[in-house]
A and B are shown apart, each in its own frame.
Chain A
Amino acid sequence: DAGVIQSPRHEVTEMGQEVTLRCKPISGHNSLFWYRQTMMRGLELLIYFNNNVPIDDSGMPEDRFSAKMPNASFSTLKIQPSEPRDSAVYFCASNFGGSDTQYFGPGTRLTVL
Chain B
Amino acid sequence: KQEVTQIPAALSVPEGENLVLNCSFTDSAIYNLQWFRQDPGKGLTSLLLIQSSQREQTSGRLNASLDKSSGRSTLYIAASQPGDSATYLCAFPRSSASKIIFGSGTRLSIRP
Contacts and interface: CB of A to CB of B under 8 A. Distances in A.
B31 interface: yes
A99 B96 contact: yes
A45 B100 contact: yes
Interface in A67-109: 91, 93, 97-107, 109
Contacts of A106: 42-43
Interface string A1-35: 00010000000000000000000000000000100
Give the interface size bracket for A toward B: 20 to 34
Contacts of B36: 104
Given A42-B105, A98-B93, A103 B46 contact: yes
Which of B46, B49, B99, B101 has the most chain A CB atoms inside 10 A of its CB? B99
B42 A107 contact: yes
Nearest to B44: A104
A101 B46 contact: yes
A61 interface: no
Interface in A27-56: 33, 42-43, 45, 48, 55-56
A102 B46 contact: yes
A98 B46 contact: no
A8 to B, nearest CB: 15
B96 A93 contact: no
B102 to A, nearest CB: 4
Interface in B56-112: 89, 93, 95-105
A99 B100 contact: yes
Contacts of B32: 99
A42 B97 contact: no
B49 A101 contact: yes
B43 A42 contact: no
7 contacts: A42-B105, A43-B44, A56-B98, A59-B99, A93-B43, A101-B34, A106-B43
Interface of A: 4, 33, 42-43, 45, 48, 55-56, 58-59, 91, 93, 97-107, 109
